[in-house]
A and B are shown apart, each in its own frame.
Chain A
Amino acid sequence: MARQAKKTGRPRANNKRHLGDFFLMQPALSNPVLSIRGLSKSYKGGLQALKSTDLDINRGEIFALLGPNGAGKTTLINAVCGIVTPTTGRITAAGYDTRKDYRSARSLIGLVPQEMHVDIFETVWAVTSYSRGLFGLPPNKAHIEQVLKDLSLWEKKDEKIQALSGGMKRRVLIAKALAHEPEILFLDEPTAGVDVELRRDMWALVRKMRDRGVTIILTTHYIEEAEEMADRVGVIAKGELILVEDKATLMKKLGKKLLTFNLKDRMATLPAELKEWDLALRDSGAILEYTFDTQADRTGVASLVRRMGELGIGFNDLDTKTSSLEDIFVSLVHAPKPATIAPEASDVRS
């Protein structure tokens, strides 16, 4: 049953993608390591967990799937991994169809589930070696040893899993997935309920995997995590993938700060002397707002305050507010029609 991968990998590209752009299926345009087309899932009883979804994951990237609980993140992952039968759609991993060619496709994919599903009566070593064998690889003690050492599990290798702490069990789940050398690694809420130290370790590990060329898809509802880790971010809400964007682009849009002055005296119009700053008046001239880029070398805050002093514009109070991924996330997820960037966020961008 030898079958060649039809598509070859290619360095990470910064392609803009339009949902439902079927031309992307042509290899000439794109070589995603994972390609999802029209994937949907309705459970018995009518719950539509996932609406028709298109998504391409580039080889070697870290993709963060953000969304609240019950948004469809796990359904999406489980459909790719073969745990949930999709209602519609087609998924290919490195060109292998996850249905027709499921053996080749699945042998590429590692999954770290959200729940602590691990056989507590077995030892760390036993379950980890088992996973490697299960995925069709010959025994390789050196590899298992390396994986366990990377995860600080080596000292615990002969302990039964029931004797381990929650964080350690989580590491075992990761070790199991890494034991069979996946090209694509799914981490379903890897840091949920995990302490800060383990979270840092986890991030370091994920980067290490990426350096080895592994593609990583992680789900999280910690925006901080997506900001820290991801190359690209997808936002999913109510079974719908509502945004897929480069993190850098997203942060550029969002890496803005809003400085608000409560003016002593209301101002009817902006004085010409303040033209060089990006200012706006609110509350019939009682509030002056300045939007600036936190990433810029000069924010212009000091000079603005100086100039206002020179012009005799007094203020009682001032306040700054950072727009974050969280803002856009919250507004996207709660917006009735989540097709566009939320108004607050665009305000900030000015």
Chain B
Amino acid sequence: MADATTSPPAAAHAPIVRNVPAFNGHSVWAMYRFQMVRFFRTIGESLATPVITTALYFVVFGSAIGNRMGMIIPGIEYGSFLVPGLIMLSIFTNSIFNASFGIYFPKFTGTIYELLSAPVSSLEIVIAFVGAAATKSVILGLVILATAYLFVPVTILHPVEMVLFLILVSFAFSLFGFIIGIWAQSFEQLNFIPMLIVTPLTFLGGAFYTVDMLPEAWRGIAQLNPVVHLISGYRWTFFGLQSDNVALSLGVTAGFILILLGVVGWMFKTGYRLKN
């Protein structure tokens, strides 16, 4: 990477040679850091809202209602049962929000010119922007998990898988958010897809119940909702329930990521809503 450095201004007219490495580490780090600095500067606001929201869920659903519901699944209190679902819920919305805003904001302010004129590949931009958004989500997920400990008993049977799953899903939804950010041409559009698609899919995705609890007819339909598989896979890392199909869950996530990568690739190749 040191190759990319310029020697002190061209001695008269020495030939100009620039060798940019195949992977431009300095660029990726600069972009990633720039995104993260903003996050850490406003870390109070960044974390307070989701933490308070989640705490409210625990108070209302976990304690107030949950106590009357008893155990949905033998051995697991309703409050504890909620934990993985609520973490996923926050991961979905925050990944989309952070990533879409991260790329939409430069478009909105016009500073995108610098990104487009920089010696970076689309892959490097994606790694930095989506990576930053996913990092924020993972931090958030862990903070919510810590909050949950304050309200309900939490056991994690597969901690390593739990973290890996968190990272994978954060990345997938950040990628999705990144695409929305490129697509959006107004702040309204920026909120449109999360409100219209993601929130319903999440609520119908089994964050507050297991799909088994649905009437027979709905169970089949629910299987078509990818969020169902993500939440059930994540729940497995906590409770190891037999009904949760981990392989399917991972498959859905991987497939989702591949499709999104294809879309991003196409967007950068054609300059879709990025440049004329």
Contact surface of A with B, Cβ cutoff 8 Å: 1-5, 7-11, 33, 43-44, 59-60, 81-85, 94, 96, 102-109, 111, 113, 115, 117-121, 126, 129-138, 176, 181, 183, 212-214
The reply on B49 being an interface residue by CB < 8 A is: no
Seen from chain B, the residues whose Cβ lies within 8 Å of a Cβ on chain A are 1-6, 9-22, 24, 26-27, 29-31, 33-34, 37-38, 106, 109-121, 271, 275-276
- For A120, the closest partner residue in chain B by CB is B109
Q: Is the CB of A213 within 8 A of B13?
A: yes
List the 7 closest pairs (A to B, CB-CB), nearest first: A133-B30, A117-B110, A9-B13, A8-B15, A94-B16, A103-B20, A212-B9
Interface contact A104-B119, CB-CB below 8 Å: yes
| Partner of A115 from B16, B34, B110 at Cβ < 8 Å | B110
**B5 & A137 in contact (Cβ 8 Å cutoff):** yes
| Contact A138 B111, CB 8 Å, known A106-B119, A212-B9 | no
16 intermolecular pairs with C-beta atoms under 8 Å apart: A2-B19, A81-B117, A83-B116, A83-B275, A84-B276, A105-B119, A106-B117, A107-B119, A111-B113, A115-B110, A126-B34, A130-B33, A133-B33, A136-B20, A183-B16, A214-B9
The A/B interface has a contact count, at CB < 8 Å, of: 147
Find out whether the CB atom of A133 lies under 8 angstroms from the CB atom of B29: yes
Let me know if A117 and B111 touch, CB within 8 A: yes
From DSSP, what is the main secondary structure of chain B's interface residues?
Answer: loop
Contacts of A111 in B (CB 8 A): 113-114, 117
Q: A82-B117, A133-B29, A136-B20 are in contact. Are A43 and B276 (CB under 8 A)?
A: yes
B18 is contacted by which of A85, A96, A138 (Cβ under 8 Å)? Answer: A96
Tell me whether B22 and A108 are in contact (CB under 8 A): no
Name the residue of chain A whose CB is nearest to the CB of B110: A117
Closest beta carbon of chain B to A48's beta carbon, Å: 13
Contact A119 B19 (CB under 8 A): no
Of A82, A84, A94, the most chain B CB neighbours within 10 A belong to A82
Contacts of A84 in B (CB 8 A): 275-276
* Inter-subunit contact A176/B114 (CB<8 Å): yes
Q: Are A82 and B18 in contact (CB under 8 A)?
A: no
Contacts of B21 in A (CB 8 A): 1, 136
Bound complex: CA A33 to CA B15 (Å)? 10
Q: Are A3 and B19 in contact (CB under 8 A)?
A: yes
Contacts of A121 in B (CB 8 A): 38
Question: Chain A residues near B30 (CB, 8 Å)?
Answer: 129-130, 132-134
Set of chain B residues within 8 Å of A33, measured between Cβ atoms: 16
Q: Which residues of chain B are within 8 angstroms of A115 by Cβ–Cβ distance?
A: 110
Residues of B within 8 A of A181 (CB): 6, 9
The minimal Cβ–Cβ distance linking A132 to chain B, given in whole angstroms, is 8
For residue A183, which residues in chain B have a CB less than 8 angstroms away from its CB? 6, 10, 16
- Contact assessment for B17 and A5 in the assembled complex, using a CB-CB cutoff below 8 Å: yes
Name the B residues within 8 Å of A109 (CB-CB): 117
Question: Which of A81, A82, A136, A214 lies in contact with B24, CB distance below 8 A?
Answer: A136
* Residues of chain B lying within 8 A (CB to CB) of residue A85: 271, 275-276
Note all chain A residues with C-beta closer than 8 A to B38: 121
Shortest distance from the beta carbon of A21 to any chain B beta carbon, whole Å:
23
* Cβ-closest chain B residue relative to A132: B30
User: Which residue of B is nearest A117, CB measured?
Assistant: B110
Complex Cα spacing A131 to B145, Å:
37
Closest to B42 in A: A121
Given known contacts A134-B27, A137-B26, is B117 in contact with A104 (CB within 8 Å)? no
A104→B13 CA distance, assembly (Å):
18
The distance from the CB of B137 to the nearest CB of chain A, in whole angstroms, is 22
Beyond A85-B275, A113-B113, A136-B24, whether A106 also contacts B17 by CB under 8 A is no
* Cβ contact of A133, chosen from B10, B19, B22, B27, cutoff 8 A: B27
Q: Choose from B15, B20, B112, B271 the contact partner of A107 (Cβ within 8 Å).
A: B20
State in angstroms the CA–CA spacing of A274 and B27 once bound together: 71
Which residue, of A7, A44, A104, has the highest number of chain B Cβ atoms within 10 A? A104
> Looking across the interface, which residue of chain B has its beta carbon closest to that of A12?
B13
A1–B22 touching, CB < 8 Å: yes
Q: Do A108 and B16 contact each other (CB < 8 Å), given the known contacts A1-B21, A81-B117, A102-B119?
A: yes
A60 CB contacts on chain B under 8 angstroms: 13
Contact of A136 (CB < 8 Å), options: B1, B14, B16, B116 = B1
Cα(A139)–Cα(B145), bound, Å: 37
CB-CB under 8 A from B22, the residues of chain A are: 1
Give the complex CA separation of A9 and B114 in angstroms.
27
* Contact, CB under 8 Å: B9 / A213: yes
A134 touches B118 (CB 8 A): yes
Of all chain B residues, the one with the shortest Cβ separation from A131 is: B114
- Do residues A134 and B120 form an inter-chain contact, with CB atoms below 8 A? yes
A33 to B17 alpha-carbon distance, docked (Å): 12
Expressed in whole angstroms, the minimum distance between the Cβ of B40 and any Cβ of chain A is 13
A2 contacts across to B, CB distance below 8 A: 3, 19
- Residue contact B4 to A107, C-beta cutoff 8 Å: yes
A183 to B11, CA, bound (A): 12
B244 to chain A, nearest CB (A): 43
Q: How far is the CB of A140 from chain B (nearest CB, A)?
A: 8
For B117, list chain A residues within 8 Å (CB). Answer: 81-83, 106, 109, 111
**Is A4 within 8 A of B13, CB to CB?**
no
Q: Could you tell me the distance in whole angstroms from the C-beta of B99 to the nearest C-beta in chain A?
A: 18
- Give bound CA distance, A262 to B4, whole Å: 67
- Docked Cα-Cα span, A33 to B18, in Å, equals 13
The minimal Cβ–Cβ distance linking B145 to chain A, given in whole angstroms, is: 30
> Are B12 and A213 in contact, CB atoms less than 8 angstroms apart?
yes
Q: How far is the CB of A83 from chain B (nearest CB, A)?
A: 5
